[in-house]
Structure 1
Amino acid sequence: MYYREGKSQREIARLTGVDRKTIGKYIEQYEKQRRELEQSGNPEDAGVLIRAIVEAPKYTVGHRPARKLTEEIEKEIQRHLDENEEKRRRGQHKQVKKMIDIYEALVAENMDISYSSVKRFIRLKVEKPQEAFIKERYLPGNVCEFDWGEVKLTVNGKLQTFQMAVFTPAYSNYRYAYLFTKQTTECFQEAHALFFQEVGGVFQTMVYDNMKVAVKRFVGTEKQPTDGLLQLSIYYGFRFRFCNIHSGNEKGHVERSVEVVRRKAFAFRDTFDTLGDANRYVHEVCIRLNGKPQDTRDGCTAAECFEQERPSLLALPPMFDAARTVHARVDKYATVVVDQNHYSVPDHLVGKLVLVKIYSNRIQCFYQDYKVAEHIRLTGNHEWRLELDHYLNTLKKKPGAFAGSAALQQAPQKIKTMYEKHYTRREKEFVELLQFMQTSASLAEVEHAIDELCHIHPSHVTTDKIKVLCARSRETAPPAATLSQTAQEIAERAKAHLRAYDDLFQTHISAPEEAIA
């Protein structure tokens, strides 16, 4: 308006509603910058002046001195900051004062200062330079990252928290995940064994954060690995390194993979019959994710990229036996205690020391190099897993304890039904039948014999008669020469009993017509 239309500053003020003095400043600043531009011989200065000419003028506040932030207040704020630093050195980082706490302390001392002034001063004092990141270039088969992720699933009708072990090679971004009940050493080791078995080789370097199953303790700035990690490293031959504290970016591939796998899998389905079903499902999801084209790899899938690095993997040895071993004393209940849960062993081992191998989903008990018990691992606390067969010697001596025993309550339903229908108040005889089933007959054979006796009359169901009928059914079995000496003796005695019972109950069957009758 001033230059092209020839309007006066007063007229421009009236048309725009802007104060005339402000318009005068704009015009004066513009003319000054144009003169400086014409006189400037430095291209950089010219660029600054051109930007100043074409951009709207900015209100300059200048460096006005703080009116209320006096030297006394600055010293008091600094005293609080020094106290915070001392607490951090003593490991009391959760007890330091925040900016609002320092402000309230100043107000309590009748210092006239605003919260915003306190914040500006503290930020100026404690301001740290922003961290710069270095983009890495990965070689095939060189680096694989590992991390845990937590998921909540309903398994067998119960909402539970599970730990998801996730592996991601840095070169191919291939994803693999497996669910466990806890973040224990045996689960950590089994996850690695399953992953290496899945990919058919071993990566040269594994990367971890400061998880407890990988880092045993901090020694100064160094991290000491756990025995479980060292065992894996020695067996498979890979190197390992740890991230810095609070530096998830140092293993950003797997950090992202945990979030992606958890969302892609369990945002759509979170209810399963068993943990095995959940693991099969997450494996299918990983296969689907690994088959998707990657924009950063010119459309190649993670599976295709992984095939490029497969030749660079270390050779795969036989699968690692991922078990934690402990020695446990058998208590008076013929159980060993593992992670606050009880597991039964044969009752003759009470007071003995047994070797227990603890896997992620089962435990095995050994005595003098012989496996004496195996159980599905319990996931809670103070739970009991009892096998009825482990207590037969004791129950034979104390038959009165049979009906109310916890071992009977945990027995298979067919065993409990058999006892309730045919052996109530005949506990000693039922224990003899269970011992017979341990050595000489299967459950199916015993059930078949009971059915035959019930056809005559339910009162005929006795252990001795069941033994006879089981022996009769085995008369067409392989020759006695192939049986053990003990089994041969049992068979001969059974045949004698069979003939006696045939005479007693007149159950001789000599022709098909008699069988029909």
Structure 2
Amino acid sequence: MLTVETIGRIRREFFVKGKTIKEISRDLKLSRNTVRKVLRSEATSFGYERSVQPLPRLGAWTATLDRMLMENALKPTRERLTVIRIFEALRELGYEGGYDAVRRYAKRWRSRQVSGTVDAHVPLIFAPGEAYQFDWSHEIVVLNGTTTVVKVAHLRLCHSRMMFVRAYPRESQEMVFDAHDRGFAFFRGACARGIYDNMKTAVETVFVGKERRFNRRFLQMCGHYLVEPTACTPAAGWEKGQVENQVGLVRERFFTPRLRFKSYEEMNAWLLDRCVAHAKAHPHPEMRDRTVWSVFEAERPALVAYAGRFDGFHSTPAAVSKTCLVRFDNNKYSVPARAVGRPVEIQAYADHIVIRQDGEVVAEHVRRFSRDQTIYDPWHYVPVLARKPGALRNGAPFRNWVLPGALGRVQGRLAAAADGDRQMVDILSAVLTDGLAAVEAACGEALSDGVQSSAVILNILARRREASLPGPILTPAALRLQHEPAADCARYDSLRSSPDGTP
């Protein structure tokens, strides 16, 4: 085969130096026909590709190999065989050829499959405030010294490409609500349309085409923010390609190398700062002379006005045990003793839970995401202490209970008394009626006088209650009598007399 160097020399010898074909053929030891072919074609290179690949050993096995490659391609990714494993399986069936022939054939087979399945996409363009895209990703961080997989919510405005990123322990519905609220509050508005994949927290049923049955609570959230939800076609990620690309960008730019934080609050504050810094530092992909942040600020007036926080909770019923506990999400939370014996409703938010009974809030707790934890509020058990004062010393809710200020100092001094638990229970019970601030002030006054008896503290509280009673009602001057009537008992004698005047 002629090399490009040889072809170049033939052309220079003929066109530049003026040599004849015979001289060139003699100097380069080439046939005259070859020299003529180069000069007449005016090509600078020649290649040869075999039109038919002879497969002396593999030819009889191509149908079997096609079937094995197709079956392998239909398997899940983790279960697919390598080409050498397919070669070994083919050898077991009787193939006597080499591995290279199988490898080359498998490569050509994959090329044909890919060329036949590649899809073309239409680039999308969005007007200001028209749409946003939402998605989740899983990232690995070191949280409080423990390697943790966090769920990251991604919001992206389609026009300005402004992004909002926030991490959560779960992908549950209340986290979806919280991510939308915080994102819209950051953007200072929402878009007319939201583009989602078919996540279970939003879509209940997928019908043919674009028709979906959305979750009722999810539709409530969309109605609150005046957003029209749109679900993508299954396995058509290009329909929300912006947020799909954002997932890869955030993973590469934000979460690599592995991040270390003490809490979710610290991590999310850092992520928000990174979103703003990235938007201010990078140009818009379509308006290269402007940054993403400047386009975002121009888009803000076109957004739907932020409607305020949506009450985004996940509700579930629960029973109250005799130990004043309700079970939720593999953990137990305390409620006041008066709630025992009747069902309650747990409203789970992204970071806390609210427990209601008959429509009234009876307890609130910071939400825990680990397992088998019991979260107590000692004040929920104070009414029970009135009947069982001995539980103050060994009761689980009161272990390591640190009371504030003067109330804590009184507890420390009464610990040495024989009836200290009983006295302390009387003082704590007064908190339920007089309030913590009043009881703490009474404890401070008693300690300043050198006493810590419950009788003294309760007496101080009683005196303060009496002092706070309203005084006599004063009559305004305009309503006062100018002439007080004189007492005349003779009027009653006239009522006792008979009609004829006789007594």
TM-score, scaled relative to structure 2:
0.77
Q: 1:60 to 1:173 in 2, by over 3 A?
A: closer
C-alpha distance in 2, partners of 1:81/1:266?
38
Match of 1:174 in 2: 162
Match of 2:489 in 1: none
Deviates more, 1:183-192 or 1:388-397: 388-397
Task: Map residues 66-465 of structure 1 onto 2, 5 A cutoff.
Answer: 66-71=55-60, 73-81=61-69, 83=71, 95=79, 97=81, 99-119=83-103, 120-121=105-106, 122-123=109-110, 126-127=113-114, 128-154=116-142, 160-219=148-207, 224-261=213-250, 265=254, 270-292=259-281, 294=283, 296-409=286-399, 411-412=401-402, 414=404, 419-423=411-415, 426-442=420-436, 445-454=438-447, 457=450, 460-465=451-456
TM-score, scaled relative to structure 1:
0.75
Q: Which amino acid aligns with 1:28?
A: N
CA displacement at 1:69 relative to structure 2 = 1.6
Structure 1 gaps, min length 5: 13-19, 36-48, 483-517
Which SS does the other structure have where 1:399 is aligned? coil
Which SS does the other structure have where 1:61 is aligned? coil
Q: 1:82 to 1:156 in 2, by over 3 A?
A: closer
Structure 2 gaps, min length 5: 1-8, 472-503
CA displacement at 1:364 relative to structure 2 = 0.8
The answer to whether the Cα contact below 8 Å between 2:352 and 2:365 also exists between their aligned partners in 1 is: yes
CA displacement at 1:455 relative to structure 2 = 5.2
C-alpha distance in 2, partners of 1:227/1:410?
44
CA displacement at 1:271 relative to structure 2 = 4.5
C-alpha distance in 1, partners of 2:149/2:258?
15
C-alpha distance in 1, partners of 2:66/2:259?
53
Which SS does the other structure have where 1:403 is aligned? helix
CA displacement at 1:228 relative to structure 2 = 3.8
Q: Which amino acid aligns with 1:189?
A: F
The answer to whether the Cα contact below 8 Å between 2:319 and 2:344 also exists between their aligned partners in 1 is: yes
Deviates more, 1:155-164 or 1:108-117: 155-164
- Rg bigger for which structure? 2
Which SS does the other structure have where 1:291 is aligned? helix
Match of 1:499 in 2: none
CA displacement at 1:238 relative to structure 2 = 2.0
CA displacement at 1:188 relative to structure 2 = 0.1
Which SS does the other structure have where 1:356 is aligned? strand
Q: 1:260 to 1:78 in 2, by over 3 A?
A: closer
Q: Which amino acid aligns with 1:430?
A: M
Could you tell me the percent identity over the aligned residues?
24
- Structure number with the higher helix fraction is 1
Aligned residues: 445
The answer to whether the Cα contact below 8 Å between 2:324 and 2:337 also exists between their aligned partners in 1 is: yes
Instruction: Report the RMSD for the aligned CA atoms in angstroms.
Output: 3.4
1:468 aligns with 2:491: no
C-alpha distance in 2, partners of 1:350/1:420?
31
Which SS does the other structure have where 1:300 is aligned? coil
**1:426-481: CA deviations, max 9, x gaps?**
323322222212221425x5455445544555xx32222222344566787xx423
Which SS does the other structure have where 1:166 is aligned? strand
CA displacement at 1:110 relative to structure 2 = 2.6
The answer to whether the Cα contact below 8 Å between 1:387 and 1:410 also exists between their aligned partners in 2 is: no
1:32 aligns with 2:19: no
CA displacement at 1:403 relative to structure 2 = 2.2
Deviates more, 1:264-273 or 1:344-353: 264-273
CA displacement at 1:392 relative to structure 2 = 1.9
The answer to whether the Cα contact below 8 Å between 2:413 and 2:452 also exists between their aligned partners in 1 is: no
C-alpha distance in 2, partners of 1:280/1:79?
54
The answer to whether the Cα contact below 8 Å between 1:264 and 1:285 also exists between their aligned partners in 2 is: no
Which SS does the other structure have where 2:355 is aligned? strand
